[in-house]
Chain A
Amino acid sequence: MIEITDLHKSFGKNEVLHGISLKIPQGSVTAVLGPSGSGKSTLLRCINMLEAPQSGTLRLDQLQVDFASVHKKDILRLRQDTAMVFQAFNLFAHKTALENVAEGLIVVKKMPKKTAHAQAVQYLEKVGLIDRAGYSPTQLSGGQQQRVAIARALAMNPKVILFDEPTSALDPELVQEVLTVMKKVSLEGITMIVVTHELGFAREVATDIVFMDDGRIVEQSAPQVFFNNPEQERTRQFLRQIAPDYNYQI
């Protein structure tokens, strides 16, 4: 379980997250929705400490982090427990698909190379890319690259996987294969936080929806409630904008 309390993040003088508090239950799939610039990605990156928040606390099972005075060791610990899947895939360009998945096992988990590669094979199988093991990222389609990135995240056996708009950089016809893999991952009970614009995915796969606007959480609810009976006027406005045809009941 993840518990974030009163997280503040500024870039220079510009505060972009105004005190976020959030509970994410074990094994849940949380879709984070909201207009661009609302701070969704920044929140995700704060959980992984790719961005350093100015204040707030985060608890991930036994690990307790106070952002105002965070120790380097805790950052590394937190990052090992929170894998990240990026919008731009960010596969290591000089390594094959297999080496990408094995890299963290070798360097961070100190696994012998052979064991790491054997495990990496299993994860590539899981995302259906075992026949591309020896390919380098430039030889793979965007969808395939993102599936390798998901395998790379899974291999670290994290407590939570953070997806930062995982399908936004993909050609439309490649989105589905990535969403399918993500759905498969969700069925295994791994906690997932997904910043996305894929409403279909949010409705179908997510167990929780978090709606953000202007650096605040406006509403957190189950998908049925969120899409059919949103509490906040701002949420209704957002849903009307992105899905004008959607006929939610009032």
Chain B
Amino acid sequence: MALCVSSMLWLLSVRASVAQNTPIVSGGVGFLDSTNTGINFFQPVVAPLVVVPIGRHLLAESRFDFREVYAPEGGKNGPYKGTFFKSTQYLQLDYIAASHLTLTVGRFLTPFGTYNERLSAIWMQNFQDAPLIFPIGTRTTGSSDGAMVRGVLVSKPEVQVNYIGYFSAFSSVPQFESARAAGDRIDVYFPGKRVEVGTSYARFLQGTRNNSFGTDFWWQPWRAPLQVRSEYAHGAHAQGYWLEGTYRLSQWRGADNFIGRLEPLFRIQQVFRNSPGPGDSLPAADTKQVDLGLVYHLPQEVRFTTSYSRKLSATGNANIWDMAITYRFLLPMWRGGQ
């Protein structure tokens, strides 16, 4: 009898365990509108993400981005013309080798700084445009083709130390373009204070070889829905920083009312050009930019974001107005029993 009961319990636990492993289709859809120096662009975007667990230690995951960018031809008054862009942001196989070690092969997001890996998804980003210093350390496409090791070195209640090391090969295959590069990232996180300090390093190994360094600081206090994120990066021809603060107004009457769904945003960023760097995707001259924004968190994972940016540069000042509505979805890949 006991054997029968224990067998049934075991079967139930296996069934529950297997059932929780259903592959998922997640991601975001959005409609982005931007007016930069008087020229209006709009773009519908679909960014699906697929995660498929294979057994207990292997995980296949990928994220793609499909968008049609509509812009007026020939300046401000021409007819709108759409151009389709598609990209494979990551397509990787992870082997969870041990509690503190994961090996990854394939195409992955280049782990330099925090923005690329954590905030670049359209359903997460607060501002439509990536920070000005984003290309430092993530050249040429923000993705790398190769291998990566990552994990947590120290995991204690008071401190966590995370590490990443990677190597990327050169590739010019469409959808899989990447640069030959190597790099690492180490961050120290204090969960009690929700403070993180990280450092990143990348060595560009093709053409003129050069180094990029970065450091980042995040602070998200327990007592308030405040988020402070910042990064500094130094590349071969430029350096700069960004500092972003967000504060969700959920402290008065909770997060689920009209006021509580609002989240004002602020970002300041600066790039200092040390020398000309053709093709490095950074501003051609010293640039300062202030971004002011507002997110409205609608129910059902819908977000409405709007922002105004003032860019000051020797190459020309600009006003940038952005608006976007995004929806994040998360579904099992197939239906089945519970």
| Bind each other | no
A interface residues, Cβ below 8 angstroms from B:
none
